[in-house]
Amino acid sequence: MKLHREGYKIVLISTLLLGGILFLISEFGAPQWLTVLVGIPLVILFILIVRFFRNPPRYSDKTENGVVSPCDGKVVVIEEVEETEYFKDKRIQISIFMSPLNVHVNRNPVSGIFSYFKYHPGKYLVAWHPKSSTENERTTSVIKTDAGAEVLFRQIAGAVARRIRWYIKPGDKAAKGEEMGFIKFGSRVDVYVPLGTEIKVALDQKVSAAETLIAVLK
- Which 3 state secondary structure label does DSSP give 168? coil
Residues in the chain, overall count: 218
Measured CA distances, 144 to 8, 17, 112, 116 (Å): 33, 46, 5, 9
The Cα angle at residue 178 between residues 114 and 204, in degrees rounded to 5: 95
Residues designated catalytic? 187
